[in-house]
A and B are shown apart, each in its own frame.
Chain A
Amino acid sequence: MLKLAAKTVAASLILGCTLLPKAFGCASCGSGGDDPLILYPNERDKTFLALGRTSGFRNVNASGGLATAGGPNERENLTLAYGHSFSLRSFATITVPTFRNVGAEDAVSGVGDPLIATRYTILMPDITEPLIPQVQLIASFKPSQARSVHNSKDSKELLDIFGTGFSDARAGIDIWFGQTAQKFGLAQTITQPLTRTYDGVQYRPGLTARSTATTGYQWTSAVKTLIGVNREQNLGLTVDGVHIGSSEQLNHSIFVTQDYYPSVSQLIRFTISKQAAFGANKNTAQSSTFTLAFQRTIRS
């Protein structure tokens, strides 16, 4: 009983001290994709700002062959996010991306689809049990408000496209072994886009499954490197009730993240990622992204 109490006290102390960024984290938050902001248990509020640049766009067709991409030659993005925690175990974030699509002759700026995400920690990491991971449940919703390929007014250059054209709901699980210097994590999410009609034609995109495997190393209390891979598979498009053959999508991407904590309440994060980077890919796009992000924590 005494031992258990001591354990609990030790764990609470750890929660409140500067070791936190070491122990907590997530498998999917280094991927440079959505859900970019994570709050640790003792963080009440957190702000996030990221600047990114994506280039090297190539389309990948149904048999994996590379073809000319549509749209911008380069896409710059500025993403703002805010997170608030409701308890030791739960938090929610709102993320708003803005883009500047740079074409051969001109550039168009716009706001992307906002993302509302929540996480609930069902299993907290225990400093005395490094083999027990942190386990989080993920739920998010992305309302579609940005223009997409289905309603672009620039049907030649496609520079006014800032979203997918479909709202979507996502659920998932994130498992993170973050207690030792060597880190490891796995995440799995399922996304269901909502059916939508454009010009009298009904589009129903299929379910998307995304798996992430991440590993990393904590060099010092202020420096951490993460490397990971994503596999994203989509079941394809159904148009007016007819499933389009060979519209299934597959994308294997890779990311490398370098974290630096100038102080316990600040994080600077560099991420390099490449879409359709390895293995089989189909009906997707290849590109490379470089992102610099700043996070600032307001503790309770």
Chain B
Amino acid sequence: MKIKGLILVAFMGLTAAHCGDQGNNVTASNGSGSSALNHYTAKLDWQSPLAARTPVSAKLTFLASNGLPAQSVSNIKFNPWMPSMGHGTSTADQRITAVSGTSNEFLVTGIFFSMGGDWEIQLTATVDGTTDQAAIAVSVP
């Protein structure tokens, strides 16, 4: 009887959570991703409230596989991509600059998400001498 009641409550909870999904706005969050060959982890921290259809900036931090700041990072490619629809966006205004006094932090400005939804940043970088790719999921409101 008790179990039956619990199942019922759980079911009602699930149903309510599901109903609540509809009409909820997407909330933006910072994210990180490990590279395919596990040579590095990249971390994204949005510098301003993340929004669609307006230029936004992010701090990009590279950590080596041992979790310590990467010693050298070069050849960064930063490509926003919307997997569910199979399209990217304009990267014409994007600029990547190193944060002075660091070996592993970069500021990416002029990132333009042409719409809200589930995006990923497809990243390529040479970290401590090895080129590897990573993807960071981004929920754009």
Which residues of A line the B interface, CB within 8 A? 59, 61-71, 149-150, 155-158, 201, 203, 236-237, 239, 244-247, 249, 279-281, 283
Contacts and interface: CB of A to CB of B under 8 A. Distances in A.
Contact of A59 (B21, B22, B90, B116): B116
A158 B26 contact: no
20 contacts: A59-B116, A61-B116, A61-B117, A65-B26, A66-B23, A67-B116, A67-B141, A149-B87, A150-B87, A155-B114, A156-B90, A156-B112, A158-B115, A201-B86, A236-B84, A237-B85, A244-B84, A246-B118, A247-B83, A247-B85
Interface of B: 18, 21-26, 51-53, 83-90, 112, 114-118, 139-141
Contact of B85 (A63, A68, A149, A156): A149
Q: Which of A63, A156, A281, A283 has the most CB of B within 10 A?
A: A156
Contacts of A279: 22
Nearest to A104: B53
B80 to A, nearest CB: 11
A62 B140 CA distance: 12
Given A70-B53, A149-B85, A244-B86, A61 B139 contact: yes
Nearest to A152: B87
Given A59-B117, A70-B52, A156-B90, A64 B22 contact: yes
A262 B85 CA distance: 44
Nearest to B141: A67
B89 A156 contact: yes
Chain B interface helix/strand/loop/mixed: loop
Given A64-B22, A66-B24, 4 more contacts: A66-B23, A67-B26, A237-B86, A249-B84
A158 B87 CA distance: 12
Contacts of B22: 64, 279-281
B24 A68 contact: no
Contacts of B87: 149-150
B89 A155 contact: yes
A239 B84 contact: no
Contact of B25 (A66, A237, A245, A249): A66
Contacts of A65: 21, 24-26, 139
Given A61-B139, A237-B85, A244-B86, A70 B114 contact: yes
Contacts of A244: 83-84, 86
A137 B141 CA distance: 42
B18 A67 contact: no
Contacts of B140: 67-68
A97 B46 CA distance: 41
